[in-house]
Each structure stands twice: as C-alpha cells, then as structure tokens.
Chain A
C-alpha cells in the first residue's frame, strides 16, 4: 500500500540547487525535503481516512463490507467464521419473523448469554457446602452488578426452556421435521433434554431450600428406575441398595449433600455444556446440509400427492 509521491520528478531540480553550494543550499535542501515529507505524510494520512482500505483492516476482515455488490455481500458471510453458518443467500421469505418466529436463533442466543453470564458467575462461586450459599449472598449484596448477573443467568435459563419448546412447536406447525430433516429433529430432541438437564443441574447450586428439595424430589424418581434403582421393579432382586443404585451414582451419595453439589456443578458447568455445544454444532450443520431452512415453501396440493412408493 504505497501512497503516491506527487513530487517524484522534483528530485532533479533539487539536486541542481544543491550544486550551487553554501549554507543557503543546505537550508534550501532541508526545506525542500521537509516539504516533500509533509506532502507525503498528508497523502498517506488521506488513505487512512478510509480504515477499510488499510492493511490492518484487510488482514482482519479479508473482504470489504462497504461496497454492497453481490460478490461482497456473499463474501461478508462466507469469509467470516461466525457468519459462515449461514448460506450466502436464502429464500426471500425466510427472513420473516412470522415463519420461524426466530425461536431457534433466540434459543441459541440465550445459550450464548448463559455461557457468558455463567463464566462470570464461576469467578465468584465455590461448589462446596461451606461456601456455596454464602457466595450467592456475596453476589447479591457485595459484588458490583452481582445481583443483576445472577438474575440474568436465572431468567435466561427459564426463557431458554420456553423458547426451546416454542421452537419445537414451530417446527411441527411448519412440518419442518419431514424428509430430509427427520434426523435433525432427533438432534433437536436431544438438545431439548440437554437444555432441561442444564437447568435442573443449575437449580441445586445456590444450595438453598428450593434447590435442595427440588433436586431431592427429582432424584427420588431415579430410585424407582427398573433394574437400576433400589426401589424400582427388579431393583432389589438385582442387588440394588440405596448405596449402589443410579441415584447414588447421580448424587455421589445416598443423600443430596457435598458430593451432589460438586457433581451438579461439574455437569452444569462442563459436562452438559460441552455435549450441548457439540449437538448444536451438528444441529446447525445439518440445517445447511438439509438444504437450509425448510420454508416458507410453495404450498403443495392434495391433488398433486403422488401415490405411495412401495
């Protein structure tokens, strides 16, 4: 990115002046060089007025975003790691909120919000019986914006469950689970379960009465697992006791206590988010591979329904 030098051919004249010699010559030379440098700097500065033309900018963004010719619009999507989940072009009606309700996207956005606020919360929280409850009090009363942080994490989690359900509902109403998207629907069902489990494992972490009893009620059901629970059908016959059944495995003990808190924490902060991220990656990948969003597609007519293939 060489700025032009307007005085390129002035060099010859300067060297002539130099021959005249003397102190005046030196001053004149210095002045001429100074002027040339100034002009050069001005010319260069002009090129910085458009940051998008700088080497730094181009190295980061690779393509220009200011011109809106089709090529650049496509490249804006394709050459960006975050945006390249999208195709370059989509069905002209698919951007309407009324079709997807934006629910899948909002669910994903909430997941990002939860990751962000969750990481911040982790700076203040210790998953131990001594500290957990106090950390929440500390967050609520002493940490700057701690209360807001905790509230946002809580409400985003609840909201994410609702938006996941609504997203699934939309997919049913538009028949978007049909061929070739059956498998992606199943990936979605797994995501639904993971979302619920994420929320559930987080419930215990404040170590208050609400979480304690909710998790007690929830894991008590695990006791009744056929074959694997100490109170489930065939459980006792297969040697299941409260000290070796699935509930024990979930809680790391026979009651909801320190180990349960730690296990909850690890599942909540590491285990399930990692698995959920993997499934989301597959989910988004499959949307593309299945031909993008299913609609709004042109309606088919009953009279056009082909006879079933045998």
Chain B
C-alpha cells in the first residue's frame, strides 16, 4: 500500500468475539424448540436466505472497509494540498512509470474465467448436497398453512399485514421500483463517483442501506417468524397450528375515542382525524430526513458530553449544506416523496402495529392506511 495506514494494535476484536458469543449464547438459551428452528432453516428453499445473511454482512463489511480506507486517504490529502497534487489518489499500490491501463487479455479474462470456475464448483457442490424441494401435487382444495410467496417476495407479503392489499401488493412495489430508478437523479452529489466512500456520501449510502436492509429484514421475518395463520412466532418457538391470536388490533381513532372523544368514531370526524394524523406523520418524516441530510458525520468526541451531542444534533455540517445547495427543488421534493412513503411510513406502521397493536391510522370507506 502506498499509504500505509498505521493503526494501533488493539484487542478490540477479542471484546467483539466474546460479546458476540455471549449474545449468541443468550439467544440459544431462549430457543425452546430446536427442531422447529432446524426445520425452518433447513427447508431447501430457505437455505438461500440462510446463506444470503452472511453474504450481505460480509459484503457490507468489505464495502465499508474500503470506504474507510478511501476516507482516510481523502483526509490526508485534504490536509496536505501539495501531496494532493502529486498523489495518484488511490489506496492501491502505485509507482511512477506503471501503466494506468492494463490489457484485458489476459488480466481481466483470467479473473472472469476463475470466477466462472468457482461459481460452477459451488453450484455443483450445492446441487449434489441439497435437493430442490418438491411437495405434493398441486391441490387447490388443500390450503398450505402457512402459504408463502417465494422468499424474495416475502417482503411484499409481510407488508400485507400493515397495509391494504392494493397498497402492499401494487403501490408499494411500484414505488420501490420507481424509487430505485429515480435514485441517481435525485443524488446531486458529484463526489464519490467510482470509488468507495462513506464520508462523502453518508446520506445517500445510508438511505439505500435503510431500504435494502429493511427489505432483507422483512424477508427474514417472513421466513423465520411468520408461522401458520401468518402469526408471529419467535425463532425457536413451536409453530402451533391451533394458535389463535386474540386480535386486539384497533384503529387509532378508536383508541383515542376512548379518552372521552366518542365523536371520533363517527364520519366525517373519523376521516378528518385520520387525514390529520397521516399528514402529521408525513411532515414528521420530511423534517426527520431534512434534519438527517444536514448532519455531519458523528465522531467519538460527540459522545463525550450531552452538550457535545446536542451541538452535533443542532448544527448543520458545512459540506452537507453545500450538498443541499446543489440539490434542485424538484430533486429534493422527489426524494422526500419516496423517502417518506417507502422508507418512513413502513417502519412507523410496523412499530404502531407490533408495539401498540394499532391497525390502521386512517380509515375511510374507500381505503385504509
């Protein structure tokens, strides 16, 4: 490495190891039914998910590690403009006189060839060791319970719990796809094009990760937690086919009406109330994203005192302000629309539903939210 990055040796990894082992141990103690857990994890079509989790963790680590290395390089170069003029600006090794470009034949082609061989070997091994599932012949009269969509769509199926089918099954996927497509067009930050970076693109990267990880968490919930009747069973709990959940879920207006406001149960107050609450949630989301996009990166010193933390939370970063200036109003509003309706509304509803057993916040004769 051209820029050797000196790091003090530490035993932190040991702490991490012991900590993780402790967590795993406690979780293992909580498992009541190992057979059930094994049955779910080893169902052939669930194996890809079990495999995907470590892959996602690994590649997140790999990406963030390289981001950090680049960030350190950026910091060094920002402090030393003379060096910045001459440096080749990568963390990869470089010597004057080295060609900037190399021949695809053989340097790239051989890498591709090797990758193809490795993937082939993995596929063969996987296919020899594990058989594709085959259930009984299709039988419309015998409902599978739970009947689940293929795992990559479980996120949408899980959304059915929180939203009307037309929102969960049609509007949300549509918003997701369109939201992904507009992503490059609303990110007005010119930095970080073609190299890993966290420091220069904190907000954009974290917004994507928010969505990506949410999607994966939904898949995990749908696979490992939702049992017969789509009931929530913690991992390790036995899937009881006779379990009944006494549905205490109520709509928000019904709960508020209990506090001496019975008129909320009648039209049109019901609808107006719901619209107000949804409006409030949208505004709160917008404010939150606005606040978040102006934060500079957290540093360790920000946690030294409450005052230091407050300083971080209440003052906008200079760089972040510049980024916002570059953003057109249209870009800003488009971003907010997708961020609120995809990234914000969903966790809000999830918490309201799971923690406060609130079913809908806005009930109208035509749709419920």
Contacts and interface: CB of A to CB of B under 8 A. Distances in A.
A222 B169 contact: yes
Interface in A152-179: 152-156, 158-159, 161-162, 165-166, 169-170, 172-179
Contacts of B150: 199-200, 203, 214, 218
B123 A159 contact: yes
Contacts of B45: 158, 210
B109 A83 contact: yes
A170 B63 CA distance: 7
Interface residues of B, number: 104
Interface centre among B99, B137, B150, B204 (most CB of A within 10 A): B150
Nearest to A200: B150
B124 A221 contact: no
A201 B121 CA distance: 27
B115 interface: yes
Contacts of B142: 209
A89 to B, nearest CB: 4
A98 B78 contact: no
A185 B101 CA distance: 25
Nearest to B131: A151
Interface string B43-85: 0010010011001100110110011001001100110000010
A136 interface: yes
B132 A151 contact: yes
Interface of B: 45, 48, 51-52, 55-56, 59-60, 62-63, 66-67, 70, 73-74, 77-78, 84, 88-90, 92, 98-109, 111-112, 115-116, 119-120, 123-124, 126-128, 130-140, 142-144, 147-150, 152-153, 156-157, 160, 164-166, 168-171, 177, 180-181, 183-185, 187-197, 200-201, 204-205, 208, 212, 319, 322, 325-326, 366-367
Interface of A: 68, 70, 73-74, 76-77, 83, 86-98, 101-102, 105-106, 109-110, 113, 133, 136-137, 140, 147-148, 150-156, 158-159, 161-162, 165-166, 169-170, 172-179, 181-182, 185-186, 189, 192-193, 196, 199-200, 203, 206-214, 216-218, 220-226, 229, 231-233, 255-256, 294-303, 305-306, 308
| Shortest Cβ-Cβ A-B pairs, 5 listed | A221-B169, A295-B194, A297-B194, A298-B89, A212-B138
Given A151-B132, A176-B193, 17 more contacts: A77-B105, A91-B100, A101-B59, A105-B112, A109-B116, A155-B48, A166-B59, A170-B63, A175-B201, A208-B135, A210-B135, A221-B156, A221-B169, A229-B166, A299-B77, A299-B197, A303-B78
